[in-house]
Amino acid sequence: MQHTLTWRSKLSFGLGGFGKDLVYAIVSTYFMKYLTDVRLVDPMVVAVLFMAARIWDAFNDPFMGMVVDNTRSRWGKFRPWILIGTLLNAVVLVLLYLDVDLPASQYAIYVCIMYVLWGMTYTVMDIPYWSMVPALTDNENERSQVSAIPRFFASMAWLVVGSGGLYIVKYFGGDDQVLGFSRFAIAVALVFVVTILLTVFNVKERVIATAGTGEKTSVKGMIRVLSKNDQVLVVLGIALFFNMAYQLSNSFALYYFEYVCGVKEALYATYTAVAGFAQMGALAVFPSLSKKVSKKVVFAASSLLPVVGFAALAAVGYIAPQNIILVGVCSAIVNIGIGFMLVLVTVILSEAVDYGEFKLGTRNESIVFSTQTFVVKFAGAFSGFIAAASLDPIGFVPNEVQSAGTIAGMRVIMLVLPAVLSILCLVVYKRGYRLTDEYYHHILRVLRGEESRSAQD
């Protein structure tokens, strides 16, 4: 039996994505530069902090997935943790940007504690949120929609934070950037709580496991789920390279446009605004496009468009580095591909959940999707560490004109590395992903009891 969703449920789920990505965007986009340029924290301290916090999350995420999968309540297993994680994370976000008056050494300790807590509380909310996707519907077209809608709203959140963030900070704080960021964080936290409440009260899980219902997942069972499902491992490889590319370019864009191109606010706002609209456009057309074009073709386009866009942006950086129109065109090319990839990763990971139930007899959405949040955070650790740790070796000096060698290093970090990582996404997909449309439809029919297993199964 196929399960359908009302548009009220779909939109409520999507609005939750808007709130939670507002939070992620204000940290991912600005926190590193806030520490190095506003609070003047040593870049190597920032690099170590980003890496250590994400490694710690590597241990937390799968266990949080196990906790969610073992939850039984009248609200289901996802929504209680979404609400608890949201309330905790909103408080920690405010504390992260709080205007605390501490000596440099004490502030470094304070911000390290807050950043680790921010990652942990975000995990509590994010894993059950995305884990709900395969539990909301088993209709393939609806699943494409319910995967695309929150990504659409998430891109809108990144658009708001990226293109308007610096102006919002100035509006809230004037010349006092610390105060501006603090008030910005409070506003984001409030929006976060309101939008997640819409998700919690309007969205319910509908697809229940056909086997293993009521059984609790042990640590041994968690390891079995992650090690025996080969398609999960393939999707994780894709998600790892994609998020490394995406987050590295995103976290370094402020440095690139300020120090390489010479114009921070206008170019960065243009780049991120076009990125948001391009991603939303790609996400809006994805459900209808997926009916007409195979996943294989869409995936190839998703991987190669960023390569073309970064190459074009590199050329523009030499020819006309301050040309807003050309920067916008390059951003559109990069982010149409990113928009497609954002929803594709969710779709193929949902397919891997079904495949896992088909192969192993248990349905473990939260454990499987916890690996995605782990990968996103590990990629964030990689991008944050590379971006921060590379500043000293390439000769970066905050708030000064950079040398030719430093500018060349910035170009490699912003443009070359993300392009290479995007190509690696396609390599992993072509070599490892084997859930073709025909095979996946067979899996769904078997899970619904409409068809018997074949000899190859």
φ, ψ at 359 (rounded to 5°): -85, -40
Mean pLDDT for the stretch of residues 311-315: 95
CA distance 432 to 229: 12
Rounded mean pLDDT, 351-372: 77
The Cβ of residue 423 has, within 10 Å, a number of other Cβ atoms equal to 14
**What integer is the mean pLDDT of 412-435?**
93
- Domain layout of the chain by residue ranges: 7-447
| Closest to 263 measured CA to CA, from 197, 327, 334 | 327
Q: Which architecture, in CATH terms, is 7-447? A: Up-down Bundle (1.20)
Distances (CA, A) of 380 to 153, 239, 353, 383: 21, 12, 24, 5
CA distance 89 to 124: 9
- Sequence-distant (≥ 6) Cβ neighbours of residue 421 within 8 angstroms: 241, 242, 244, 245, 248
**Cα–Cα dist 209/170, whole Å:** 50
For the segment 62-91, the average pLDDT, to the nearest whole number, is 85
Residue 447: φ, ψ to 5°? -65, -30
Model confidence over 85-134: pLDDT tens digits? 999 999 999 999 998 888 888 888 898 899 999 988 998 998 888 878 77
Residue 140: pLDDT band with limits 50, 70, 90: low
Q: Which DSSP string do the residues of 326-385 spell out, in sequence order?
A: HHHHHHHHHHHHHHHHHHHHHHHHHHHHHHHHHHHS---HHHHHHHHHHHHHHHHHHHHH
Report the half-sphere exposure of 237 (CA within 13 A, side-chain side).
Answer: 15
Tokens describing residue 423: 């190509």
* Calpha distance 247→29 (Å, rounded): 9
155, 332 Cβ separation under 8 angstroms? no
With a pLDDT cut of 90, the percent of the chain lying above it is 30
Mean pLDDT of 189-201: 95
What integer best gives the mean pLDDT of the chain? 84
Distances (CA, A) of 63 to 8, 53, 106: 32, 16, 31
Tell me if 301 sits within 8 A of 240, measured CB to CB.
no
Q: What is the pLDDT, as a whole number, of residue 250?
A: 83
Q: Measured between alpha carbons, how far is 147 from 287 in angstroms, rounded to an integer?
A: 9
Cα 399 to Cα 33, 104, 213, 266, 394: the distances in Å are 11, 19, 58, 17, 15
Highest mean pLDDT, choosing among 22-26, 145-149, 368-372:
22-26
What's the confidence (pLDDT) of residue 179?
92
| Predicted confidence (pLDDT) at residue 1 exceeds the cutoff of 50 | no
Cα distances (Å, whole numbers) of residue 77 to 72, 73, 204, 206: 6, 6, 10, 12
Q: What pLDDT is attached to residue 327?
A: 93
Q: What angle is formed at CA 411 by the lines to CA 410 and CA 415, rounded to 5 degrees?
A: 120
Q: How far is CA 345 from each of CA 301, 399, 450, rounded to the nearest angstrom?
A: 14, 38, 27
Question: Does 211 have pLDDT greater than 50?
Answer: no
Q: Which residues of 122-137 are buried (b: 16+ CB within 10 A; e: fewer)?
A: bbbbbbbbbbbbbbbb
Residue 210 to residue 197: CA distance in whole angstroms: 30
Could you give the C-alpha distances from 392 to 249, 261, 381, 400, in angstroms and in order?
18, 20, 18, 14
pLDDT tier at 16, thresholds 50, 70, 90:
very high
pTM, to two decimals: 0.69
pLDDT confidence of residue 82: 93
Q: Which of 107-111, 177-181, 190-194, 287-291: highest mean pLDDT?
A: 190-194
Reduced to 3 states (helix: H, G, I; strand: E, B; else coil), residue 453 is coil
Q: Which amino acid is at 371?
A: T
Residue 363 has pLDDT above 90, yes or no: no
pLDDT digits (tens, 9 = 90+) for 213-233: 445 555 566 666 667 788 888
- 46 neighbors 32 (Cβ within 8 angstroms): yes
Lowest mean pLDDT of 83-97, 279-293, 323-337, name the range: 279-293
Q: Is the pLDDT of residue 27 over 60?
A: yes
Q: Which amino acid belongs to residue 85?
A: G
The pLDDT value recorded for residue 67 is 81
